[in-house]
Structures are given as structure tokens and as C-alpha cells.
Chain A
Amino acid sequence: MAVTAFGLIRIRNLFAVAMLFGVFSLVAALLYVIMDAVDVAFTEAAVGAGITTVLMLGTLALTSSVEKTHGPRNLLAMAVVLVTGAGLIYGTLDMPAYGDPDAPIHRHVADRYIGKSGAEVGPPNVVTSVLASYRGYDTLGEVTVIFTAAVGVLILLGRGRGRHTRRRPEDEPELWRGDERRLRDHRETEL
């Protein structure tokens, strides 16, 4: 993972960068499998290695595939990055060892989830019971976030439909008022 991360920073060809992102996600997914977090690994492989790479390639097809070269190096930015990194590493020193049964996260509600979810909720997969039942509100929020993201993409990009992405300036302001019906009519007349 460290090797891919350094590669990501050095390489200027953005196609290779998109592919390396996919590799990075796949290695991360393998790491999750080793740590027995199969559900997370599943998501990482499907979203990180699959969909994200395709979306990045789609974006690259619209823009340029070579990164712009930078000007002189920015020492202030370097200092900020170093200080933040040092702070983060200092923070990890206080974390409990991996797999420590006395870690705070294992003493709070995890006992109940693991011990009683079979009797209280039912499914053998505890992750499913936690996600859908114990933490139902959080998952509802996540679904709403995904819904909002797709609606946002539709509103921002869903108008051009390929034929004339450069819109006439005079129909911008009335569309920006967010009148969905008019937006839809507008799109249908364009088709």
C-alpha cells in the first residue's frame, strides 16, 4: 500500500493514477479480509476498486489525462503536512493494541451486539443486525446521503445530454431556482 501511495504521488499520467487507486483499494480490501472484516472488504472491493475507478476514468475522458506541473515547491504546505502527520502518529500511540479485549470499543455495546443479537434481532450475520436494526437511523442517513449525491449529479450534469453541453446563458437563472418540473420539461424538450 505504501508503494502504491508513493507511486500515486509521483506519477503524472492520470490514467495510471486511476489504475493505481484501484490497486490501492484492492490491497486495502485484502487487508480487511485479513482482519476478518469481510463486509467492509466487500464494500471496499466493489466501490473503491470497481465503481470509483470507472468514475475516475469517465471523468478523465472529459478532462485532460496529464497532470499539470507545479510551480516552485511550497514550504509552508510541507510544514503543515509534516506537523499534521506527526500529530496523527502521536495520537496512535495512545490507541489500545489490535485485538485487545479491554479496549474501550469492546466494553461499550459490542458485548450486547455479539451476545444477544441472535435472540433480539435474528440474522446470523451480526453486521447486518447492527447496520439495519440497532443502527437503523445511521443507515437511513447513509441512504439519504447517496440519494442526495445522485440527485446533485443529476441537477448539475444531467441537463446537457451530450448534444450541447455548453448551455445558453439565458436559461441558467430560471433553472437555478430549482423548479424540478421545469427542469424535467426542459430536459425532455432537449431529447
Chain B
Amino acid sequence: MMNRKPVLRVNAKLLIPAILLFALYVQFHGDFGPGGGFQAGVIFASAFILYALIFDVNNARTAMPPWVMRTMLATGVLLYAGVGVAGMMMGGNYLDYSVLAHDPLHGQHWGIFLVELGVGITVAGAMITIFFTFAGQKR
């Protein structure tokens, strides 16, 4: 059906890489400007949702198979919690990043980086999962 809408298709194809790139920028630049894992995850997911809206959900499912989404969901939370456990192993409190590297500031930097990455992965996985599950239903 969407074969009849070349404007939408071409624009979506132009926009999707830019959206993905912007999501990565928001993710990794969150320390310096506005943004962070949560926003980046949502933007990342919106690229896939746009793809699913224009090019059919089943094609989007091929690009992002269900097992990948489920792995993403769990990986993010585990990464976040794992950073906390790593801090405990290295002699600090749970979720204390100062001990992760040779000096506290570097440790904090690493901790925040990994934790935000975990947030981003889980949020992106969750949003894509929820949308695909809703869109996969038929009346």
C-alpha cells in the first residue's frame, strides 16, 4: 500500500539515518549538553517506529528481530546494576563510581557513561518492544 507514497518513503529514508545519528549524539554528549540515556533511547526507538509506520511492521521486525529487542531490554538493566556490583567489588558502595578508575573523577566519568548507556539500551528496547507488540495486533 505504501508503494504509492514516494514522498513519505524517500523522506523517511533520508530522516532515519539522521535520527539514529542524533540519538547516538544525545547519548554520548549527554555529559556536556542536554540529553542522556533516556532521551537517546526514545529517539533511537522513534527511528525504528518511523520505519515501521512507513515500511510496514513486518519489515521492521526483520531489521530488529524480537530476540534482539528482548536482549536489549535485559542488557541495559544488567549493565546498570552490573556497574553497581563492579563498584562493590572494587571496594566502594553499590553504585559508587569513584572507585572504578585510578582517580575518582575518571571513575565517575566511566560509571556515568556506562550507566547512561544501560539506560539508553533498555529504553530503546522497551519502546520498540511496546510499539511492535501493539502494532502486531490485529482487530
Complex Cα distance A125/B138, Å? 44
**B107-139 interface with A by 8 A CB criterion:** 108-109, 111-112, 115-116, 118-119, 122-123, 125-127, 129-131, 133-139
Of the candidate stretches A6-14, A77-85, A87-95, A156-164, the one touching chain B is: A156-164
Q: Which residues of A contact B53 (CB under 8 A)?
A: 54
Specify which of A43, A136, A157 is in contact with B115 (CB 8 Å cutoff). A136
- Judge whether B127 and A143 touch: CB under 8 Å: no
Per-position binary interface string of chain B over residues 29-71, scored 1 when its CB falls under 8 Å from any chain A CB and 0 otherwise: 0111111101100110110010001000000000000000010
Give the tally of cross-chain contacts (CB within 8 A): 140
B131 A54 Cβ-Cβ under 8 A: yes
Number of interface residues of B (CB under 8 A): 51
Interface SS of A by simple majority: helix
Residues of chain B with a CB closer than 8 A to A133's CB: 97, 108, 111-112
Partner of B32, one of A51, A54, A125, A131: A125
Q: Is the CB of B135 within 8 A of A128?
A: no
Choice from A51, A120, A150 contacting B125 with Cβ under 8 Å: A150
CA distance A163 to B105 in the complex (A): 54
> Quick one: given A132-B36, A150-B130, are A143 and B118 in contact (CB under 8 Å)?
yes
A98 is an interface residue with CB less than 8 A from chain B:
no
**What's the tally of chain A residues with a CB closer than 8 Å to chain B?**
48
Q: When the two chains form their complex, are residues A146 and B108 in contact, meaning their CB atoms are under 8 A apart?
A: no
Contact status A132-B126, CB under 8 Å: no
User: What 0/1 readout, one digit per residue, does chain B (57-96) give for beta carbons within 8 Å of chain A?
Assistant: 0000000000000100110110011001000000000010
Among A43, A55, A121, A131, point to the contact of B134 (Cβ < 8 A).
A55
* Beta-carbon contact of A157 and B137 below 8 Å: yes
Tell me the residues in window 33-82 of chain A with beta carbons closer than 8 Å to chain B beta carbons.
38-39, 41-43, 46-47, 50-51, 54-55, 58-59, 61-62
Q: Does A104 contact B (CB under 8 A)?
A: no
Give the residues in chain B near A38, CB-CB below 8 Å: 34
Chain B contacts of A54 at CB under 8 A? 49, 53, 131
Query: A149 — nearest CB in chain B belongs to which residue?
Result: B126
**Shortest distance from the beta carbon of B93 to any chain A beta carbon, whole Å:** 10
The verdict on A151 contacting chain B, using a C-beta distance below 8 Å, is: yes
Cβ-defined partner of A143 (8 Å) among B26, B119, B129, B130: B119
Q: How far is the CB of B63 from chain A (nearest CB, A)?
A: 17
Provide the residues of chain B in CB contact with A131, threshold 8 Å. Answer: 36
Per the bound structure, the CA–CA distance linking A136 and B82 in Å amounts to 13
Q: Given A140-B84, A143-B76, A146-B126, is A39 in contact with B135 using a C-beta cutoff of 8 Å?
A: no
Q: Are B112 and A121 in contact (CB under 8 A)?
A: yes
Q: Which 10 A-B pairs have the closest CB atoms?
A: A123-B31, A150-B126, A38-B34, A136-B95, A58-B134, A132-B112, A46-B42, A150-B129, A121-B108, A146-B126
5 contacting pairs across A/B (C-beta < 8 A) = A47-B42, A62-B134, A124-B32, A133-B112, A165-B138
* A-B contacts besides A50-B46, A132-B112, 4 pairs, CB < 8 Å: A54-B53, A121-B105, A129-B112, A147-B77
